Amino acid sequence: MSPIMRFTKVDDAKTIQNIHSLYAMEKPTTFEITPPSVSRIENQLIQIGTHYPWLVYEDHGEVIGYAYACQYQTRKAYRWSVDVAVYVRRGRFRKGIVK
């Protein structure tokens, strides 16, 4: 099975939570102290995903990373601005994405 990038499904929430937990616990990039729950990730996938894309990258059927966009600010002048985040599974850092 060759690598693919696809839109997320709610079923991806547990895998996304596992990947995200590394960053919440060990890195300052998320601004979180504790990892989000799977249900919180599911809610974000549903709420944010209706307006902005969430993508996962699969290699041989395994999700190795994900990316998403979300609203930057609520003020009208920011309506075309988004925050973008990319997270990669431990052991896959700096490996590149090859298709």
Query: Is 31 a member of any domain?
Result: yes
> pTM, whole model, 2 decimals?
0.83
What are the backbone dihedrals phi and psi of residue 4, each rounded to the nearest 5 degrees, phi first? -140, 155
In angstroms, rounded to a whole number, what is the distance separating the alpha carbons of residues 57 and 3? 7
Query: Is 65 a member of any domain?
Result: yes
Query: Is 9 a member of any domain?
Result: yes
Query: Is 38 a member of any domain?
Result: yes
Average pLDDT, the chain: 86
Whether 27 shows a pLDDT value over 70: the answer reads: yes
Q: What is the pLDDT of residue 79?
A: 86
Question: How many domains does one find in the chain?
Answer: 1
Query: Is 16 a member of any domain?
Result: yes
Closest CA to 67 of 41, 85, 47: 85
- Host domain of residue 78: 4-88
In angstroms, rounded to a whole number, what is the distance separating the alpha carbons of residues 63 and 80? 29
CATH of the domain at 82: 3.40.630.30
Closest CA to 8 of 41, 46, 55: 55
> What percentage of the chain carries pLDDT values higher than 70?
92
Query: Is 95 a member of any domain?
Result: no
CB 46 within 8 A of CB 10: yes
Query: Is 22 a member of any domain?
Result: yes
pLDDT digits over 33-64, tens only?
A: 888 899 999 999 988 888 888 999 998 888 99
